[in-house]
Amino acid sequence: MPTISVNRDILFANIGQKFTDSEFDNLCFEFGIELDDVVVEKVNNKDQTVYKIEIPANRYDLLCVEGLGRALSIFLQKTTPPNFQLFKPSDDKIHKMTVLPNTSPVRPFVVAAILRNVNFSQQNYDSFIDLQDKLHQNLCRKRTLVAIGTHDLDTLKGPFRYDAQRPADLKFRPLNQTAEVNGVELMELYKESHLKSYLPIIKDKEFYPIIFDSNNVVLSLPPIINGDHSKITLSTKNVLIECTGTDLHKCEIVLDTMVTMFSEYCASKFEIEAVEVTHVDGSKHIYPKLCERFEVIETKTVNKKIGIQIDDSKMAQLLARMGLEAQLVEPNRIKVRIPPTRSDILHACDIVEDVAIGYGFNNIGKTIPKTNCFSNENHSKNCFQLNSDIVLNYSNIAEACDFHLGNIRGFELNKLTDLLRLELAQCGYTEALTFTLCSREDVADKLGKKIEDIPAVHISNPKTLDFQVARTSLLPGLLKTIACSRNMPLPLKIFEVSDVILNDKEAEVGARNERRLAVLSYNKQAGFEIVHGVLDKIMQSLEVPWKTGYELKHTEDPTFMPGRCAAVYAYGKVIGTVGVLHPDVIHNFELNLPCCALEINIEPFL
């Protein structure tokens, strides 16, 4: 969930009440958010208390201090939800934007709105910029879906046009730059800047999207940067907000969020001026939508889902605390108005959640279920016994519930996993649980292999070198665990039964999970016979006989010492490897004693 940093004093001013840190922490809990940290920061040589607050990922209206303060003030019943007004000028005065066909292959959609007579201060200006950054990282998916542009309308002249041009043909002066550049030069200019992560979005496109006014002044080149000509400052009074993207619905949500949060600083509070957009197909639409919709809920149903018992008027009051105006249409039926700020409400169940938050989760009484059932395992294949009289077959359950039969395989695989974990623990091995993600070096170079030869699933934008790919083997995690436990008394014997992820073009999603078992023994002597014994014990427990069921055959693997490595065959197919690790591998993981390892796929034994 996203975490926002807000100035405590500004937030309290927006709420209309002061709190101690403890009181505000309790308020956050009641409202369904979390006060993550309280820090003191130096701003202009003055100490300022900053709250770091964790909010739900779908509450875009809480990403700025204006929205958060407004929501908490309504929750405390100090104010009521604002009534947003959409002002539409006459046809000859309304600002218009036309979308041209060249944009279709790149970013086909644009929406826009105007905030008139805005009174910017340094504080709300910073919040205005910060909200854009938060939306870009969250709903806009790092500008891949939506990019926001804000402009000083007084420096521009409508009507506007949204076009796309070849990189070498366009030319403009980017924000805070002194020289004009074309598209190719722009990519070179920002390749090492904070904007470098956005360049690949359009870099390889034939056309770059660009917005002009009637004087051919460039407003922005989305999703990279705005033009310097129309940049907003503290003295800006009239703000044009445009959102371009590949998802029209998300463009509309982002635009609604921006204007509803900051229209409170307009001379006519909460009034937004419309812009007419003509799409490629010739259809004309007025933005922002500021859509309000209504949902009818039944008091009895809501009470039952939450486990409370309140009347219609009380439920309406709770909804009002959450910013949802509610009206009793008839006994047991409440009509709820969903404002344009609450794009997170998609279904009646979201309203039920708001009722529960308004009521207070801690105020919901604990009850004992009226129906008791006791379960135990039935030894018949694919069966589960609830009591002595009722036996359910997995296949029947899957058919009745319309489940995929793959779920049944998952149940069996987890059961097998638990049984093998118990067996290995009884053999004196300690279980480890390691990270699913690791570095390319861990699964390739350190094991004596090439990354090109490994069917690894790569992370497209890894945040750290430690987590670049999904693991294709359990051994790197176990070896790193041993490396962190070298001060423990010998021998160190550990195991893990978990999934690896393999690139598979035939799989529906291009990758598949494979459940594996890995065992590692670290001691002064290699102890191949010890790990071999573990393999024999596992096969004995699985009732797989030697030779006719499983066997070992010599193989060569760069991870293991030549001549000290064997492939494990089960029913004629290779399921894994056992052997003594190569000294280079041991050294790569910063170990200095021999290691013997076993890794097998356990799915063939289902």
Average pLDDT of each block of 10 consecutive residues along the chain (606 residues)? 89 94 93 91 85 92 94 94 94 94 94 96 93 92 94 94 94 93 93 91 94 94 94 95 95 96 94 96 94 92 92 94 92 94 92 93 83 55 41 40 48 89 92 93 92 90 87 94 90 94 90 94 88 92 91 93 93 93 93 93 90
Residues paired with residue 78 on neighbouring β-strands, in sequence order: none
Domains, the chain, in order of start with CATH, read 3-75 (3.30.56.10), 85-287 (3.50.40.10), 293-362 (3.30.56.10), 410-605 (3.30.930.10)
Q: At CA 491, angle to CA 489 and CA 495, rounded to 5?
A: 115
Instruction: Give whole-number Cα distances, 347 to 10, 247, 252, 302, 539, in Å.
Output: 33, 21, 19, 13, 51
List, in sequence order, every residue forming a beta bridge with 391; answer none if it has no partner.
Answer: 385
542: phi then psi, degrees, rounded to nearest 5: -85, 0
Beta strand pairing call for 469-470 and 492-503: unpaired
In our burial notation (b when 16+ CB lie closer than 10 A, e otherwise), range 310-330 reads: bebeebbebbbbbbbbbeeee
> Helices 65-75 and 248-262 meet at what angle, rounded to 10?
70
pLDDT at 402: 42
Rounded CA separation 397/70 (Å) = 48
3-state class percentages of the chain: helix first, strand second, coil last, to nearest 5:
30, 30, 40
Q: Which of 427, 592, 447, 431 is nearest to 522 (CA)?
A: 592
Rounded Cα–Cα distance for residues 148 and 211 (Å): 12
User: Which residue in the block uniquely carries the two structure tokens 């046809």?
Assistant: 91
Q: What is the pLDDT of residue 326?
A: 92
User: Which amino acid belongs to residue 403?
Assistant: F
Rounded CA-CA distance 319/331 in Å is 17
The secondary structure of 397-438, three-state, reads HHHHHCCCCHHHHHHHHHHHHHHHHHHHHHCCCEECCCCCEE
Question: Which residue type occupies 470?
Answer: A
Contact (CB, 8 A) for 36 and 3:
yes
Our CA angle for 430, 435, 441, nearest 5°, is 110
CA 155 – CA 214 distance, rounded (Å): 12
Which structure tokens are listed for 189? 């200019």
Assess contact for 355 and 318: CB atoms under 8 A.
yes
CA gap 410, 402 in Å, rounded: 16
Can you give 470-511 as a three-state secondary structure string?
Answer: ECCCCHHHHHHHHHCCCCCCCCEEEEEEEEEEEECCCCCCCE
Task: In whole angstroms, give the CA distance from residue 400 to residue 4.
Answer: 45
pLDDT given at position 388:
38
Number of Cα atoms under 13 Å in the Cβ half of residue 14: 23
Question: Residue 146 class from Cβ within 10 Å (0-12 exposed, 13-18 middle, 19+ buried)?
Answer: buried
Q: What is the pTM of this model?
A: 0.65
Answer left, alpha or beta for residue 581, where phi above 0 means left and psi between -120 and 50 means alpha. beta
